[in-house]
Amino acid sequence: MRELNTREISAVSGGNFETIGSVAGGLADQVSAILGLTTNYKDSAVKIGTGINQVLQLNISGAITNISGGVLGLANTFFSAVGSLFSSKS
């Protein structure tokens, strides 16, 4: 049996969670743009994906930092976008 290379190790250890976060966040940003909003869900979603990878690698402190930062980023982006929908335009 052969050894896995770095890319293969990343794939089986959850390396794709960052990609999933990037795609999901990018999609949310595109939907927001259709609604006339400027958002940055992608960066926060990638942070969450990075945190999930870190959980799988047993890097718990890094995971907590990235997942909590990503969740806060998503919440801040959401509330900012909702607030801009209801703000008065002069």
> For position 1, what pLDDT does the model report?
82
> Is residue 85 included in any domain, yes or no?
no
> For position 12, what pLDDT does the model report?
63
How many domains is the chain partitioned into structurally?
1
> Is residue 3 included in any domain, yes or no?
no
> Is residue 45 included in any domain, yes or no?
yes
> Is residue 5 included in any domain, yes or no?
no
Structural tokens at position 54? 């870190």
> For position 4, what pLDDT does the model report?
75
Listed residue (85, 77, 16, 79) closest to 44, CA to CA: 77
> Is residue 27 included in any domain, yes or no?
yes
Q: What is the pLDDT of residues 55-88, one digit of tens each?
A: 988 999 999 999 999 999 999 999 999 898 888 5
Helix (H, G, I), strand (E, B) or coil at 71: helix
> Is residue 6 included in any domain, yes or no?
no
> Is residue 86 included in any domain, yes or no?
no
> Is residue 90 included in any domain, yes or no?
no
Domain that holds residue 57: 11-78
